[in-house]
Amino acid sequence: MSNDQTWIDHYRSHGVLLSETDYGDGPVFILSDDQVRQYLIKIWPSRTDEGDRRLSVSVSLEWSDERPGELANYTLQPEHSRLDCAPEELTISDDGLLSMMARQNTSPNMVYRWGWTLQLPTACVKPARQAIALAIAALPK
């Protein structure tokens, strides 16, 4: 995390940190372990060419027990699929299952969803819900 940017801490407890910064395109809400060595999840409001109000999500995780603390970006970007999602398509369950299942652009009679799930510690539930709510509140009206 860069020291030359303004950072706002929204939550810090039980080894979980929720921060906010701006890389120049609007707010980014960052959920991580307090040492940023196991996971780093970025959620930010985006707007597609169609004018939809959508959220973008990036996931970086510790990728090897042999190299503790090294994060790898696991954000998927398959060809012809959307990386962003409608606000209601990003959820976290009470037991910490973070899910993004985005409806893809298809004909109205076809519903195709693409996404991922990530099991987080239950200590992440409250700050993850807060991050999602903050990102939704920051969406363009």
Q: Are 43 and 136 in contact (CB under 8 A)?
A: no
Question: Hey, where are the domains in the chain?
Answer: 8-137
pTM: 0.88
- Kindly give the parts of the chain with pLDDT less than 70: 1-3, 47-51, 77-82
Q: What is the per-residue pLDDT across 49-87, written as a single tens digit (0 to 9) for each?
A: 556 789 999 999 998 889 888 999 888 766 555 578 999
Task: Assign 137 to helix, strand or coil.
Answer: helix
Q: Are 80 and 114 in contact (CB under 8 A)?
A: no
Q: Are 75 and 83 in contact (CB under 8 A)?
A: yes
Tokens of 105: 């652009």
